[in-house]
Amino acid sequence: GAVVSQHPSRVICKSGTSVKIECRSLDFQATTMFWYRQFPKQSLMLMATSNEGSKATYEQGVEKDKFLINHASLTLSTLTVTSAHPEDSSFYICSAREGPGLAGPEQYFGPGTRLTVT
């Protein structure tokens, strides 16, 4: 199946700094990418949906100015956590979807990025 990668896999940053997480679709073009957040022992919560070349659509309660999402190409989306605080510490998982369709498009998930803000 298709592969989605994330970089870095783990990051530790100081409170007040910004950190960027990359999500790449390695062998397909992702027209749509999704960012999820997972707190320990909890489910994945959808943060935002991004389509290549357009602004991301954020879920209710997600601060768009804090979680900047850029989907500049069909294989790359980035999530930047700005002015990070300890409560932003979480496991961030991206997901990428191929073009439209019924049986497709399949949605593939990255391995996740563990963010720890100290």
Partner 1 sequence: AQSVAQPEDQVNVAEGNPLTVKCTYSVSGNPYLFWYVQYPNRGLQFLLKYITGDNLVKGSYGFEAEFNKSQTSFHLKKPSALVSDSALYFCAVRTGYSSASKIIFGSGTRLSIRP
Residue 110 amino acid letter: G
Cα separation of 91 and 107, whole Å? 19
Closer CB to partner 1, residue 36 or residue 67?
A: 36
| Tokens 């069909």 -> residue | 74
Q: Quote the least distance from Cβ 16 to partner 1, whole Å.
A: 26
Which positions lie near partner 1, rule CB under 8 A? 1, 6, 31-32, 34, 36, 41-46, 49, 51, 91, 93, 95, 97, 99-100, 102-103, 105, 107-112, 114
| Least spacing, CB of residue 42 vs partner 1, in Å | 7
When the beta carbons of 48 and 81 are compared against partner 1, the nearer one is: 48
Greatest distance between any 2 Cα atoms in the chain: 44
Q: Are 11 and 114 in contact (CB under 8 A)?
A: yes
For the bound state, the minimum distance from the C-beta of residue 46 to partner 1, rounded and expressed in Å, comes to 6
Residue 76 pairs in a beta bridge with: 24, 73
